[in-house]
């Protein structure tokens, strides 16, 4: 049985000039000029300064014109259950109703289990038993949409996600935080690095609250703000 898979995130599509469209939308709000004139006036240097000013003012609505689509593989159903709670997004996920798990299904192993030999043996045995159960149900002509009820949260899945930049800023604030569950935090960090490479002005301050201000977790703070800032800064250097 394939026991583990690697997280893979690919930026499939985004606006051709994400920072230009955001700056143009903002300029339009405060100008009586024609669109053609505004486009000529929005230079690259002006875009950066203007976008930073917009972020400082909290004028995030213009970033909704900027969208990013990601192809995501090697994640668990436990992760996607969390991911789809971010409702201002579009999702298309590999179906367990129409795609059979097969004799052997790939699954995600948490680090705490992977690093504990006894726990790992228990976990792998459980996955093997579940696979056998699934296959026995399939052999009895139980449809995949019903046999899938025995499959675990650990099952590997694939999903395409589209979010606008405003929602991504919100997503990174929550999911790149140390308090986020480890798997979705790893996904968030990879997505943040990809977004920053395309639109650094928009995502310059992206990340959990402690990156720019203070921790927003109150008494639940991880107490590791310096380490979080270092991790997020490293993402933006690649």
pTM of the model: 0.93
Q: For residues 110 and 124, what is the distance between their CA atoms, to the nearest angstrom?
A: 12
Instruction: Give pLDDT, residue 36.
Output: 73
What residues form DSSP beta bridges with 71?
10, 160
Secondary structure class of 222 (helix, strand, coil) = coil
Q: Is 128 in contact with 63 (CB distance < 8 Å)?
A: no
Q: What is the pLDDT along the chain (238 residues), one digit of tens a residue?
A: 455 589 999 999 999 999 989 988 888 887 777 777 777 666 666 788 889 888 988 889 999 999 999 999 999 999 999 999 999 999 999 999 999 998 889 999 999 999 999 999 999 999 999 999 999 999 999 999 999 999 999 999 999 999 999 999 999 999 999 999 999 999 999 999 999 999 999 999 999 999 988 888 888 999 999 999 999 999 998 6
What pLDDT shows up at residue 154?
A: 97
For residues 144 and 171, is the Cβ–Cβ distance under 8 A? no
Residue of 148, 166, 175, 185 with catalytic role: 175
Alpha helices in 92-210 (DSSP H): 111-114, 117-139, 144-147, 165-175, 182-198, 200-203
Report residue 237 as tokens: 């250097």
Q: Is 231 a catalytic residue?
A: no
State the fold for domain 8-92+157-235.
Gyrase A; domain 2 (3.30.1360)
User: How far is 145 from 149, CA to CA, in rounded Å?
Assistant: 8
End-to-end CA distance of the chain: 35
Tell me the CA distances in angstroms from 8 to 11, 73, 113, 187, one per residue in order.
10, 5, 21, 9
Tell me the C-alpha distance between 123 and 186, whole Å: 22
């Amino acid at each position: 049985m394939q026991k583990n898979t690697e997280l893979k995130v690919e930026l499939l599509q985004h606006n051709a000039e994400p920072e230009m469209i955001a700056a143009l939308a903002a300029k339009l709000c405060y100008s009586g000029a024609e669109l053609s004139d505004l486009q000529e006036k929005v230079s690259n240097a002006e875009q950066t300064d203007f976008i930073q000013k917009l972020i400082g003012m909290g004028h995030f609505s213009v970033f909704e014109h900027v969208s990013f689509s990601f192809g995501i593989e090697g994640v668990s159903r436990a992760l996607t259950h969390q991911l789809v709670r971010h409702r201002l997004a579009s999702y298309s996920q590999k179906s367990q109703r129409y795609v059979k798990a097969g004799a052997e299904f790939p699954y995600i192993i948490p680090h705490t289990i992977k690093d504990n030999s006894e726990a790992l043996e228990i976990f792998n045995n459980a996955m093997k038993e579940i696979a056998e159960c699934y296959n026995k149900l399939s052999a009895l002509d139980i449809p995949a949409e019903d046999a899938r009820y025995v499959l675990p949260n650990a099952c590997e899945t694939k999903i395409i996600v589209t979010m606008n930049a405003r929602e991504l800023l919100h997503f990174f604030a929550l999911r790149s935080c140390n308090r986020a569950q480890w798997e979705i935090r790893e996904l968030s960090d990879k997505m943040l690095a990809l977004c920053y490479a395309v639109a650094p002005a928009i995502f310059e301050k992206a990340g959990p609250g402690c990156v720019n201000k203070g921790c927003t977790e109150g008494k639940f703070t991880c107490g590791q703000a310096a380490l979080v800032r270092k991790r997020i800064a490293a993402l933006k250097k690649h």
